[in-house]
Structure 1
Amino acid sequence: MRTILAVIALCSAVAGAALAAEPSPELIAYGKALVEAGDCAGCHTADPAKPFAGGKRIDTPFGAIFAPNLTPDRDTGIGAWRDADFVRAVRTGIAPDGSNYYPAFPYPYFTKMTKDDVLAIRAYLGTLAPVASRNKPPELRWPFGYRGLMRLWNAMYFKPGLFEPDQSKSAAWNRGGYLVTGLGHCGACHTPKNYFGADRNAQALSGNEVGGWFAPRLDGAVRTGLKSWSEEDITEYLQSGRNAKSHAGGPMAEVVVNSTAKMSDADVRAIAIYLKSLPSTRRETIVTPPDNAEMKAGQAVYAKLCIACHEADGSGAPRIYPPLPGNALLQSNNPSSTLRIILDGAHTVTTPRAPNTGEMPGYAKQLSDDEIAAVTNYIRNSWGNAGLLVTPAQVARARKREANGE
C-alpha cells in the first residue's frame, strides 16, 4: 500500500510540475512582443502560410544560408529542444548538436538579451503550429562552408555578455539601448562590416550596404545621419514607415511593417531616445559639387519627370511624396538606395497609423545611365544638399545587380 501511495504521490508531483511549467498567457504574449521587436518572422518565414517554418534564403557576401525552422515540430523544428539548448543557441550561436551557427543569425546581438526574455520567446514559439520543414544546407563559397571556422571567428569577433545598463541614463534610454544593440539587432544592417563580416564597432550604426540597398546612418551625423531628426520624427517613422523627412523603402519597409509598427509606444519611444543620444561615429565626407553641365542635365530630367510630385523646390508632400531637401538617405555617400528607387520605383508602405498609399514609377527603361546619374547628382546637390558625385558606371552596376536579383 505504501508503495502504491508513493507512486501516486510521485505521479501527482510530476503532473503538478508539468502544469506549473506551462507558460502563462502573459508570458506568451510578452514572448510574442519580443519576437515582433526582433523581427524574427522577417528571416524565418519563407511561406506566409507557414510562419516561422524557415527556408528563406539569406544572401551574404560569402554565399547564401537558409533560415531554420522555429516551429515546435519535433523532427525538423525546435520542439525537441530543451530550454537550455534554446538559450545557448540564441545567446552564443551554438546549436544543440554543438555546431556553430553563422553570424547571419545575429547571436552577436542576441547575446545581450536576458535569459528570461529568451525563454519568453521560446514560450511563444511553442504555441505555433508545428510544421515539418527540414533545414536547408548553406550555399557558401569555399572555405566558408566549414562551420569549424566559426570557432576562430567567434574567438576574434564575438564578445558574449548581457547588455550593461548605464546608471547615469534614464530607464527609457537603457531600454532603447537594449533594443537597438540587442534584440532589435539594428547594427546587423546599419553598421559597416570588415572583410570577414564582423561589425566595425568603432563605426557603429554609421551605415552599410545590404542587398543592393544602403542602410543609412543612425548616429548623430549632421547631413547624412539623424542630427536633424527629433525623437518624434524617429518615433513616427518607426511606427508608420514615414514622417515629414523621409519614407521607409526596401528592407526597412519590411522591418516597419513586420516589426516596429507592432511595437509598443514606450519601446519605440525608447529607441528614439537612445538613437538621438548617439554622437557621430565618423566624419562626414567633404563634397565637391558637380559641374554646371551635370547640374543642368539633371535639372532637365527633374523638370520633365519629377517636379509634378516633388515640386520645383523639392519640398514634395510630406508623408505622401518625401521631401528631398535635407534628406539624409539621399545625401549618403553610398547612393545605392537612391539609385534603386529611381530605377525600380517605390511603393509607400501602409501601416495602421498611415494607411494611405503612394507610388513612384521606375525609370529604368525610360532613362539612360547618364540621365539617371545626372538627375541623381542634381537632387543630391540642390536645395542645400551635398552628395558625392554618382557616375553612369555606378548606375550600370545598380542595373546589373537588380537584373541578377541581388
Structure 2
Amino acid sequence: MRWAAGLAATLLTGAALVLWLNLRGEAPLAPDPSPPVVADAGTLARGAYLARAGNCAGCHTARGGAPYAGGRDIATPFGTVVAGNLTPHASGLGNWTAAQFRRAMWHGRSADGRLLVPAFPYTHFTQVSRADADALWAHLRSLPPVDQPNRPHALRWPYGTQPALAVWRALFFQPLAGEAPAPAATTADATLLRGAYLVNGLGHCSACHGGRNVLGASGALGGDGGGSSLPGQRWQAPSLTDPQQLAMGQRSTDELVQLLRTGLSERAAVMGPMADVVADSTQHLTPADLRAMVVYLQSLAPAAPAQPPALPPRDGPVLERGRQLYADHCISCHGSEGQGAPGIYPPLARNPTVTLPDPTNLVQAITGGGFPPGTAGNPRPYGMPPFDLPHEDLAALTTWLRASWGHDAAPVTPVQVLLAR
C-alpha cells in the first residue's frame, strides 16, 4: 500500500503545483466603480485604435457577419476554435465587468473563471498596460450589441478540457498583468520599447511568425529559424528575423514601413493572410508606431548577410523550361528583368518571397493568385491571376525564378509543389 500512498501524494503535489502556477500573479477581482465611469471621446478613439493594432475584428468577425460578433471558425492543429462575441450583448460581453475583461487579457480566464484556450493570445495580451486594456474595454462596450450566442469549440480530447489547459498554462505561460506602462515613441530607446510593446503585446506577431512547438506554444521572434505553417491555410508565416528568410535587418526601415502601410514596397507585395492584417490592422497605425515596430524587429535581425547553405545542382533543361514558361506567362507584367511595374505589379527580382527556403508561398501566389490589400495608399490593387500549371512545369518555373536576377535559392521539386498545393 505504500506505493499507492506515494502515488497519491505525488499526484496531489503535482496538482497543487499546477494550481499554484495557474494562480500566480492574479489578484482578486476588484468591483467596478458605481456608477460606472463614462469613457470620454479620447478614450473611445484610443480604444478603437488599439483594437486595430490587435486586429481584434480579424478573428472575432465571421465572413459576412457583424463586426466583433464572433462566430468565426479558426483552424488549429488540435481542432477548431470558435471566436467569441465581443459586443456588449448578453450573449457576448454584456454581463462582463472591466475587471473580468482585464483578467481575460492578462490571465486567460473567462468571466466565470474558466481557462480560455490559448488560441486567444492572452500569452501576448498579458503585456498590455492597464490604461490600454481599459481603453480597449471602453471601445468594445461602445459597439452595437449583437445577439449571437457563442458556439462551443470543436477541439479533440483532451485539448479543450480544463485540466489540460491548466497543465499547458503551467508549462508555457508566465503572466505579466500589464505591469509595464505603454511607452511613447519619442526617443531612440523609447522607440524600441514602443515597438516591442506593440509587436509582442497587442500585435502578437510571434503567434504566427515565431513558430510553435508540438503543444502549440509560440516561440520568440529573435534568433534564426522561426515562422510556421498556418493551420487550415496553404501559406507559411516566414520568420521575421532569420537572414535566410525575410532578412529584415538587411532592408531599409522606410521600405518595410511602406509595406505595412500600403501592402506594396519596392521589392514586394503582401498577399495571403498577411494582406488581411495590413488591410484591417497595420495600415491604420500611425507612422510613428509602424516605424517603432519595424525598428524593433530590425533590432532582432542580423544586419549582415548570412553564409548561404550549399545548394544542390540545378538541371539545365529544367532551367530552360522555366525560362520559357516565364516568357509565356509572366514577362508581360513582371518584366524581362523581373523588375515589375512600380505601384502596379510587384518586382520578382530581389523579392524575398521568391527566395524563401520553403517555396510554399511562391507556389501559392502562382497557383492561387490573389490581390494585395486595398489600402489608403493603394486603394485599387492590381490582382494576380491563378495559373494552373502541371507540377513539373511549376517546379521548373519556380526553380528558374529562384536562380535568376542574382537569386541563389534552392531548386524546387515536383514533390514540393505537390505538397504546397
Change in 2 beyond 3 A, CA 1:328/1:82: same
Change in 2 beyond 3 A, CA 1:303/1:267: same
Q: What's the counterpart of residue 348 of structure 1?
A: 372
Q: Structure 1 residue 222: deviation in Å? A: 5.8
Q: Deviations over 1:273-318 (max 9, x none)?
A: 2122222499864433522222112112111111111112111113
Correspondent of 2:390 among 353, 356, 368: 368
Q: Deviations over 1:333-371 (max 9, x none)?
A: 12221111111112132211112321221112xx10111
Which is further off, 326-335 or 61-70?
Answer: 326-335
Contact 2:85–2:93 (8 Å) recurs in 1:
yes
Q: TM-score, normalization: structure 1?
A: 0.88
Q: Deviations over 1:147-191 (max 9, x none)?
A: 321111111111221476999952111111100111101111111
Correspondent of 1:148 among 163, 184, 187: 163
Which is further off, 291-300 or 246-255?
Answer: 291-300
1:263 aligns with 2:271: no
Correspondent of 1:122 among 137, 141, 155: 137
SS for the counterpart of 2:143 is: coil
Q: Structure 1 residue 212: deviation in Å? A: 1.6
Correspondent of 2:253 among 225, 228, 231: 231
Which is further off, 204-213 or 241-250?
Answer: 204-213
Q: What's the counterpart of residue 334 of structure 1?
A: 358
1:217 aligns with 2:236: no
Q: Aligned equivalents of 1:50 and 1:284: distance in 2?
A: 48
1:52 aligns with 2:68: yes
Correspondent of 1:385 among 399, 402, 407: 407
Question: What amino acid maps onto 1:327 in structure 2?
Answer: N
Q: Aligned equivalents of 1:223 and 1:59: distance in 2?
A: 25
Correspondent of 2:314 among 273, 290, 298: 290
Question: What amino acid maps onto 2:216 in structure 1?
Answer: G
Contact 1:180–1:271 (8 Å) recurs in 2:
yes
Contact 2:223–2:241 (8 Å) recurs in 1:
no
Question: What amino acid maps onto 2:162 in structure 1?
Answer: R
Identity percentage of aligned residues: 38
Change in 2 beyond 3 A, CA 1:200/1:285: farther
Change in 2 beyond 3 A, CA 1:258/1:223: closer
Q: What's the counterpart of residue 402 of structure 1?
A: none
Q: Structure 1 residue 31: deviation in Å? A: 0.4
CA RMSD between the two structures: 2.4
Q: Deviations over 1:40-72 (max 9, x none)?
A: 000000144511000001001111111000000
Q: Aligned equivalents of 1:388 and 1:258: distance in 2?
A: 34
SS for the counterpart of 2:415 is: helix
Q: Following superposition of structure 1 onto structure 2, how do residues 138-217 of structure 1 map, counting pairs within 5 Å?
A: 138-161=153-176, 162=178, 170-201=189-220, 203=223, 206-210=226-230, 211-217=233-239
- Structure 2, unpaired ranges of 5+: 1-32
Change in 2 beyond 3 A, CA 1:59/1:67: same
Correspondent of 1:35 among 51, 54, 61: 51
- Structure 1, unpaired ranges of 5+: 1-15, 400-406
Alignment: residue pair count:
380
Q: Structure 1 residue 330: deviation in Å? A: 1.8
Contact 2:81–2:154 (8 Å) recurs in 1:
yes
Contact 1:173–1:274 (8 Å) recurs in 2:
yes
SS for the counterpart of 2:377 is: coil
Which is further off, 103-112 or 292-301?
Answer: 292-301
Q: TM-score, normalization: structure 2?
A: 0.85
Question: What amino acid maps onto 1:208 in structure 2?
Answer: S
Q: What's the counterpart of residue 276 of structure 1?
A: 298
Q: Deviations over 1:189-224 (max 9, x none)?
A: 111111111123364883222122111221261664
Correspondent of 1:18 among 31, 35, 44: 35
Contact 1:52–1:69 (8 Å) recurs in 2:
yes
Contact 2:212–2:218 (8 Å) recurs in 1:
yes
Change in 2 beyond 3 A, CA 1:28/1:285: farther
Q: Aligned equivalents of 1:25 and 1:56: distance in 2?
A: 30
Q: Aligned equivalents of 2:242 and 2:209: distance in 1?
A: 13
